[in-house]
Amino acid sequence: MTLNPNKVGITIYCASCGRPKVPIGRSVSIYMSNSICARDSCYGYSEEPYAGSLWPGESEADFGYPVSDHGTAIVQAAKEETTT
Ligand SMILES: [Zn+2]
Taking the centre of ligand 1 as the mean of its atom positions, its distance from the CA of residue 25, in whole angstroms, is 15
Torsion angle in degrees (nearest 10) through CA of 24, 30, 36, 42: 70
Can you give the length of the chain in residues?
84
Q: How many CB atoms lie within 10 A of CB 62?
A: 14
Q: Ligand 1 (ion): which residues have CB within 5 A?
A: 14, 16-17, 37, 42, 44
The pLDDT of residue 14 is 98
Q: Where are the domains of the chain?
A: 1-76
The pLDDT of residue 76 is 85
| Cα gap 50→36, rounded to integer Å | 14
User: Beta partners for 9?
Assistant: 56, 72
Q: Please write the tens of the pLDDT for every residue from 38-59.
A: 998 899 999 999 999 999 999 9
pLDDT beneath 70: ranges in the chain: 78-80, 82-84
Taking the centre of ligand 1 as the mean of its atom positions, its distance from the CA of residue 14, in whole angstroms, is 5
- pTM given for the model: 0.83
Taking the centre of ligand 1 as the mean of its atom positions, its distance from the CA of residue 84, in whole angstroms, is 52
The pLDDT of residue 84 is 66
